[in-house]
């Protein structure tokens, strides 16, 4: 758990970079710091491992005030992932990944076992990749290595500073999925910096939206999309925030609320979609292809119904707009 | 050609002896220069103000003509009865090597990718661990380039040291000039050139041996 208690950072009298920030990252959850450039999100992240100083307030990490901890020991207990080039080109992949365990004095055997385990997590062959150097890997592989290096000494807390920012959209999407999969297994407490709204919605249990060092809103992604607290939040997520919100809902959700259409056995050549696919992708599929419906398949690959644009719209109306108008009335 | 054969038959042992003297003088000066220059260069990366001053002084040293510097050494070292010979030559060579060594060590480490340094600090490396494991290995090609410059430069400058009685291959050249003997001048110059090429090649091999493929590229 990481608690920010009225944290402020100022340079001299005039400039306040971080202004009375107060929120908590619960055990095992991902909180994304989101905001435009210069809003202080990276500064805030770097205050946790004391790469930046705190002017006022305190950061409490798993019950201990960060000020009372030795910065070197503190940093070794926190996984740290940065955007790019964080790997050391003079070290092999194994040396890179095992750096913190090495600093902590782990035995050779423990390090080797841990390395195999971590490489298995990201689906790379430990023997093959261990001896290679970072420049011999693709950008996506390097970033995966960057992530497992942060996990190496099994730290309870991780700080991730736009870890997937330098990757192309297809690889980024894949690595985000992979990382969420890993997170389900390791359950770390994660503070994650991003400037990408879609990434924040996808990764976050909760989002902290910052502007000029102040928290604009601290909420779950769906709450933030449905009930933006002020003008800045609703503008930041944009007019298409209802569509963005669709990525938080799956075909299964829609099926539970309004049900699916009947399967017309006569139509054979239409596209199919998996029941756990999100509604944003479903909608774009419906818009892209000429047929006005797609067939939904379940885990057993059985056709269980069809879905149309009208149904997505209806669901949107019930689930998202319904909540929005309710909040405006309330 | 016959003349050359006769010349070498008589002078080969002397040329070899002078070459060894020359190499010893330059090597000792470089070893001491490394012991001073590399730690100083590393330290300067942590002190910007001092860095500017020291690099300036080292630059000025390099602009002093070598014959003048050797000349200045004579009255200074006369105070300890070492006015001419090995000691003043050695000190002058150490001074000349400082700039390339300090400057390249300093710039090499300063230019290590800041994100890499950030990652090293963020992962909890202490200053010396960061230097030894990340910054120096990644700065090694630049540091070695400075060392190679210093060595080749010193092999040339040490020729002048013959004028203050420090021996070495300069003796052949100065004698050749005063006796108007082309054999001595040419053999001395070629020996200096060969020595410089060999020294540079050896250092290049050492550099490649200790630099990981990834950084060399």
Residue A149 class from Cβ within 10 Å (0-12 exposed, 13-18 middle, 19+ buried)? Answer: buried
Closest Cα in chain B to A150: B123
Identify the H or E element spanning B157.
helix B136-160
DSSP string, A194-247: ES-HHHHHHH-SEEEEEETTEEEEEE-HHHHHHS-SSHHHHHHH-TTHHHHHHT
For chain B, say whether A133 makes contact (Cβ under 8 Å): yes
Interchain CB contact of A91 with B (< 8 Å): yes
Give residue A10's Cα distance to chain centre. Answer: 28
Q: Point out the residue among B115, B126, B133 whose CB comes nearest to the CB of A84.
A: B115
Measured CA to CA in angstroms, residue A9 lies from A46, A80, A103, A197 at distances of: 12, 21, 31, 25
The CA distance from A76 to A73, in Å, is: 5
Strand partners, A3: A24, A60
**pLDDT tier at A258 (50, 70, 90 boundaries)?**
confident
Question: Which residue in A265, A266, A270 sits closest to A308, CA to CA?
Answer: A270
Gap between the Cα atoms of B185 and B180, Å rounded = 9
Strand partners, A189: A157
Alpha carbon distances (Å) from A318 to A253, A281, A293, B121:
12, 19, 20, 50
Closest CA to A31 of A216, A219, A173, A211: A219
User: CA nearest A287: which of A269, A313, A268, A322?
Assistant: A313
Closest among A81, A106, A235 to A166, alpha carbons compared:
A81
Strand A78-81 relative to strand A157-161, pairing = parallel
**What phi and psi values does residue A322 have, to the nearest 5 degrees?**
-55, -45
Give me A278's structure tokens. Answer: 């999100």
Asked whether the CA dihedral B39, B45, B46, B48 is positive or negative, the reply is positive
Q: pLDDT value at position B213?
A: 59
Flag whether pLDDT at A110 surpasses 50: yes
A16 forms beta bridges with A10
Nearest to A260 by CA among A323, A320, A303: A303
* Mean pLDDT within A49-64: 92
Say yes or no for a CB contact (<8 Å) between B116 and A83. no
Give the H or E element holding residue A58: strand A56-61
Higher-scoring residue by pLDDT: A270, A16: A16
Rounded to an integer, the average pLDDT of A25-46 is 93
**Å between A155 CA and nearest CA of chain B:** 11
pLDDT value of position A329: 41
**Inter-axis angle of helices B2-44 and B86-110, to 10 degrees?**
50
Q: Are B64 and B70 in contact (CB under 8 A)?
A: no
Residue predicted with more confidence, A32 or B68:
A32
Chain A residue with minimum CA distance to B127: A72
- Torsion angle, CA of A54/A57/A59/A62, rounded to 10 degrees? 150
Q: How many helices (H) and strands (E) does chain B have?
A: 10, 0
Q: State pTM to two decimals.
A: 0.78
Beta bridge partners of A32: A192, A207
Mean pLDDT of B61-84: 83
The contacts of residue A106 (CB under 8 Å, 6+ apart) are A98, A114, A153
Coil/strand/helix, residue A327: helix
Could A49 and B129 be called an inter-chain contact, meaning their C-beta atoms sit closer than 8 Å? no
CB-CB under 8 Å, A49 with B116: no
Angle at B170 between CA B169 and CA B176, to 5 degrees: 105
Nearest Cα residue to A190 out of A69, A53, A81: A81
pLDDT for A165 equals 85
Q: Which H/E stretch holds residue A158?
A: strand A157-161
| pLDDT tens digits for range A192-245 | 999 889 899 889 999 999 999 999 999 998 888 888 899 999 888 887 777 777
Question: Can you tell me the mean pLDDT for B127-148?
Answer: 92
The Cα–Cα gap between A216 and B48 comes to 40
Query: Which of B122, B133, B214 is nearest residue A134 as measured by Cβ atoms?
Result: B214
DSSP label of A19 = E
Rounded CA-CA distance A81/B114 in Å is 14
The predicted-structure confidence for B176-199, as pLDDT tens digits, reads as follows: 999 998 888 999 999 999 999 999
Chain B positions in Cβ-Cβ contact with residue A85 (cut-off 8 Å): 113, 115-116
Q: Which of A52, A83, A90 to mutate to test the interface with B (most CBs of B within 10 A)?
A: A90
Checking if the pLDDT of A302 tops 90, the result is no
Helices assigned H by DSSP within chain A: 41-48, 71-76, 93-97, 99-103, 108-121, 126-130, 139-151, 169-186, 197-203, 221-226, 231-237, 241-246, 251-258, 279-288, 309-316, 322-329
Share of chain B above pLDDT 70, in %: 97
| pLDDT, averaged across chain A | 87
In angstroms, what separates the C-alpha of A86 from chain B's closest C-alpha? 5
Residues of A whose CB is below 8 A from B217: 135
Q: In what order do the strands lie in the sheet with A2-11?
A: A15-25, A2-11, A56-61, A64-65
């Amino acid at each position: 758990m990481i608690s920010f208690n009225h944290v402020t950072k100022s340079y001299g009298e005039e400039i306040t970079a971080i202004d009375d920030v107060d929120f908590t990252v619960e055990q095992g959850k991902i909180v994304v710091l989101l905001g435009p450039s210069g809003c202080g999100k990276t500064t805030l992240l770097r205050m946790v491992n004391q790469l930046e100083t705190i002017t006022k307030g305190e950061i409490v990490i798993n019950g201990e005030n960060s000020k009372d901890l030795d910065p070197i020991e503190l940093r070794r207990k926190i996984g740290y992932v940065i955007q790019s080039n964080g790997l050391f080109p003079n070290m092999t992949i194994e040396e890179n990944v095992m750096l913190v365990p090495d600093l902590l004095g782990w035995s050779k055997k423990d390090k080797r076992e841990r390395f195999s385990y971590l490489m298995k997590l990201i689906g790379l062959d430990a023997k093959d990749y261990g001896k290679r150097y970072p420049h011999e890997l693709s950008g996506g592989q390097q970033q995966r290595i960057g992530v497992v290096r942060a996990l190496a000494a099994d730290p309870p807390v991780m700080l991730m500073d736009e870890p997937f920012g330098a990757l192309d959209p297809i690889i980024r999407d894949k690595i985000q999925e992979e990382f969420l999969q890993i997170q389900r297994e390791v359950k770390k407490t994660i503070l994650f910096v991003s400037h990408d709204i879609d990434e924040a919605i996808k990764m976050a249990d909760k989002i902290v939206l910052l502007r000029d060092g102040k928290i604009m809103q601290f909420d779950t992604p769906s709450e933030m999309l449905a009930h933006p607290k002020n003008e800045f939040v609703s503008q930041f997520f944009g007019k298409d925030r209802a569509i963005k919100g669709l990525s938080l809902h799956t075909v299964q959700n829609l099926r539970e609320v309004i049900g699916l259409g009947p399967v017309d056995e006569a139509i054979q050549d239409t596209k199919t979609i998996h029941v756990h696919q999100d509604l944003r992708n479903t909608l774009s599929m419906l818009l892209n292809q000429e047929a006005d419906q797609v067939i939904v398949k379940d885990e057993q690959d059985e056709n269980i119904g069809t879905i149309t644009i009208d149904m997505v719209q209806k669901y949107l109306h019930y689930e998202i707009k319904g909540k929005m108008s309710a909040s405006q009335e309330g | 050609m016959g003349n050359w054969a006769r010349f070498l038959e008589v002078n080969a042992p002397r040329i070899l002896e002078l070459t060894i003297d020359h190499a010893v003088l330059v090597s000792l000066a470089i070893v001491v220069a490394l012991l001073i220059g590399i730690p100083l260069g590393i330290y300067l990366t942590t002190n910007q103000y001092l860095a500017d001053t020291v690099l300036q002084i080292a630059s000025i040293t390099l602009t002093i003509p070598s014959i003048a510097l050797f000349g200045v050494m004579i009255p200074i070292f006369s105070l300890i009865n070492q006015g001419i010979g090995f000691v003043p030559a050695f000190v002058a060579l150490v001074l000349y090597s400082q700039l390339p060594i300090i400057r390249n060590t300093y710039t090499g480490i300063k230019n290590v990718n800041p994100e890499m340094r950030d990652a090293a600090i963020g992962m909890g490396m202490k200053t010396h661990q960061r230097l030894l494991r990340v910054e120096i290995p990644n700065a090694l090609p630049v540091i070695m380039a400075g060392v190679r410059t210093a060595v080749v430069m010193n092999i040339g400058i040490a020729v002048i040291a013959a004028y203050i009685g420090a021996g070495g291959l300069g003796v052949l050249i100065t004698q050749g000039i005063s006796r108007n003997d082309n054999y001595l001048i040419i053999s001395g110059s070629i020996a200096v050139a060969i020595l410089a090429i060999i020294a540079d090649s050896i250092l290049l091999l050492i550099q490649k041996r200790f630099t990981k493929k990834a950084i060399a590229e």
